[in-house]
Structure 1
Amino acid sequence: MIKIIFFDIDGTLVDRRAKALDSTRKAISQAQSQGILCGVATGRSPIHLSEQIDALNFDVFVTYNGQLVYTKDETLYERTFSKAVLEQIVDFADTGNRQLMFGGRLKMEGSSLMRFGQNSKARKLVRFIPKWFPVAAAQNLLIKYRSVKEECRYHELNILNEEIYQCVLLSSAEEMEDLNRQLPDCTITRSNPYVVDIIPQGGSKLRGIMKCIETFGFSLNEVMTFGDNWNDVEMLEGTGIGVAMGNAPDGVKASADFVTATNEDHGIYQAMVHYKIIEEAVYENR
């Protein structure tokens, strides 16, 4: 029996307008009314998270790809970079003039371009970027022609005196192998074509979920997860029921127990009906 459900955010929980469908809201509400806990499992930070999840009333939050897990009342698990590994990341970014953000508990700092990318309005604009957009060419252009190339631009950030859970790097898919080689003490995962998330080695959404359910006394077989991208694969494979959205890449779909409709076409609702988590009457006139 499913006792807790986790939802990825972008491409899963919300639509292209960064809004949750009415069917999604009602499905989650009915699951909670039956005593099933509901939460997010996201690569995003806890900063302004309520806005990002369209003010849905969740019970638990797995953020920064599993590195920070909490409820409204307490922190259940947290894992940050060691000072040595963080220094390696900073050196890599400064040497290569890379666009990078550092994620702490209360704020994110770094590249002004990346800060804009974390803005809710910018996330809505992303849907208008064509799939053929040349990420690698744009990235190389920024590296070569960035107007201000101060030495040690990241080393001087005040946020580096705080605990850092995750870094977000502008990066094309073509350089994944090179990133893994240059940052061997990190786990690098991708949730969209434009950036990668860098977290402490061995970290993942699944690990954060496992730490969370230890607190509640649940097993992985009692967990249901929803996702649509590559950083969701491990949790889709490792939990009792893994559901891939219809808009997910084929490789992500292959990792799931069930493929539902898209995030624009009531996919969460349909999967929860399929597994009898909720009754179909919860959402009429779809």
Structure 2
Amino acid sequence: MKNNAKAIVFFDLDGTLLTRDIKVADSTVKAVKKLRENNILPIIATGRSLFEIEHIMQHTGINSIVSMNGQSVIFEGKPIFSNDIDPQIIDRILQFSHSETGIPIAFYNDYIMRISELGEPATKFYHYLQQTIPPVDDKIHYQEPIQMLLLLCESGEEIYRDVFPELSFVRNTPYCVDVINAESSKAFGIKKLLQKAPLQNIPTYAFGDGFNDIEMFEIVDHPIAMANAVTPLKQLAEFITDDNNHDGIVKGLQRAGLI
């Protein structure tokens, strides 16, 4: 499809492609299939890792993803870019969390998830995602490349921004803050995908709802916000579709003339 794609559509997951109960609506699955029939390329752009959402990709038939807020890019099942966090920086943030804030850390790449410690913050966050709590291993970055960290907290991330200017901190849920290299974002990963696939000079669309979608909305041709989106994202949108629990994806694709 990459040689004759008429358009590209980037989909955020939580609050966008996924309903409130962390599922893909049947209407959305049918809409994605219709996109492919229309030679339009669907791509997931998410804060999550590949490991977390392989079942969603299989269910929707989407095999390209900008994951971990642009830290990793897979196109048609093949890795084409990754942006690892320096292990020495991970050591520093672990030490700072241990000595100054008490905030636990989660470690992510495309294939694993680990946490620095068990406790209420981890329980709340993974219950919110309806996921099993990952194993504890605060030395995983010595054995595996890590592309994203999470601060498992409901508040208190502001101090990290001053202490770690080489990192970017974006609150993605009420219970966690995504931590990635400072130059990264969904937009950064999308640019890498368009360059390396290659997929330049093709109209781009994006659906999203959260703060980590802002940079993505700023670079695509047609940003479309969900009705449940945060206000700053709505202000960047070409139009606002219905929410993620009321066929917002289908209605938005129809209004954009893509299906």
Q: Do these two structures clear the TM 0.5 threshold for a shared fold by scoring above it?
A: yes
User: How much does 1:221 deviate?
Assistant: 6.2
Q: Select which of 117, 129, 149 maps to 1:123.
A: 129
User: How much does 1:115 deviate?
Assistant: 5.4
Alignment pair present for 1:98 and 2:103: yes
Whether the 8 Å CA contact 1:242–1:256 is kept in 2: the answer is: yes
Alignment pair present for 1:167 and 2:149: yes
AA aligned to 2:67 is: T
Alignment pair present for 1:20 and 2:2: no
Alignment pair present for 1:211 and 2:192: yes
TM-score, with structure 2 as normaliser:
0.87
Q: 1:87 to 1:263 in 2, by over 3 A?
A: same
Determine helix, strand or coil for the equivalent of 1:44. Answer: coil
Determine helix, strand or coil for the equivalent of 1:243. Answer: strand
Determine the structure 2 residue equivalent to 1:269. Answer: 250
Q: 1:54 to 1:264 in 2, by over 3 A?
A: farther
Determine helix, strand or coil for the equivalent of 1:246. Answer: coil
User: How much does 1:217 deviate?
Assistant: 2.9
Whether the 8 Å CA contact 1:2–1:224 is kept in 2: the answer is: no
Determine helix, strand or coil for the equivalent of 1:55. Answer: helix
Determine helix, strand or coil for the equivalent of 1:59. Answer: coil
Determine the structure 2 residue equivalent to 1:112. Answer: 118
Q: 1:218 to 1:164 in 2, by over 3 A?
A: same
Whether the 8 Å CA contact 1:237–1:256 is kept in 2: the answer is: no
Whether the 8 Å CA contact 2:8–2:202 is kept in 1: the answer is: no
Determine helix, strand or coil for the equivalent of 1:12. Answer: helix
User: How much does 1:157 deviate?
Assistant: 2.0
Whether the 8 Å CA contact 1:3–1:218 is kept in 2: the answer is: no
Whether the 8 Å CA contact 2:6–2:39 is kept in 1: the answer is: no
Determine helix, strand or coil for the equivalent of 2:18. Answer: coil
For residues 75 and 178 of structure 1, the distance between their equivalents in structure 2, rounded to whole angstroms, comes to 34
For residues 92 and 242 of structure 1, the distance between their equivalents in structure 2, rounded to whole angstroms, comes to 38
Determine the structure 2 residue equivalent to 1:145. Answer: none
User: How much does 1:20 deviate?
Assistant: 1.3
Determine helix, strand or coil for the equivalent of 2:9. Answer: strand
TM-score, with structure 1 as normaliser:
0.79
Q: 1:220 to 1:177 in 2, by over 3 A?
A: farther
Tell me the alpha carbon deviations over residues 33-70 of structure 1, each in whole angstroms, 9 at most, x when there is no partner: 12111111010111131235572110301111110111
Whether the 8 Å CA contact 2:66–2:73 is kept in 1: the answer is: yes
AA aligned to 1:98 is: I
Determine the structure 2 residue equivalent to 1:197. Answer: 178
**1:1-286 matched pairs, under 5 angstroms:** 3-52=7-56, 55-95=59-99, 96-110=101-115, 111-113=117-119, 116=123, 119=126, 122-124=128-130, 157-173=139-155, 175-219=156-200, 222-278=203-259
Between 1:71-80 and 1:193-202, the stretch displaced more is 71-80
Q: 1:48 to 1:192 in 2, by over 3 A?
A: closer
Determine helix, strand or coil for the equivalent of 1:162. Answer: coil
Determine helix, strand or coil for the equivalent of 1:112. Answer: coil
Consecutive unaligned residues of structure 2, counting only runs of 5 or more, are: none
User: How much does 1:25 deviate?
Assistant: 1.2
Aligned-residue sequence identity (percent) comes to 27
Determine helix, strand or coil for the equivalent of 2:145. Answer: coil
Q: 1:45 to 1:242 in 2, by over 3 A?
A: same
For residues 189 and 86 of structure 1, the distance between their equivalents in structure 2, rounded to whole angstroms, comes to 17
AA aligned to 1:109 is: R
Whether the 8 Å CA contact 1:80–1:164 is kept in 2: the answer is: yes
Q: 1:199 to 1:186 in 2, by over 3 A?
A: same
Whether the 8 Å CA contact 1:5–1:223 is kept in 2: the answer is: yes
Aligned residues: 248
Consecutive unaligned residues of structure 1, counting only runs of 5 or more, are: 126-152, 279-286
Tell me the alpha carbon deviations over residues 88-146 of structure 1, each in whole angstroms, 9 at most, x when there is no partner: 22222222321210113321111334655565x64249xxxxxxxxxxxxxxxxxxxxx
User: What's the RMSD between the two structures over aligned residues?
Assistant: 2.3
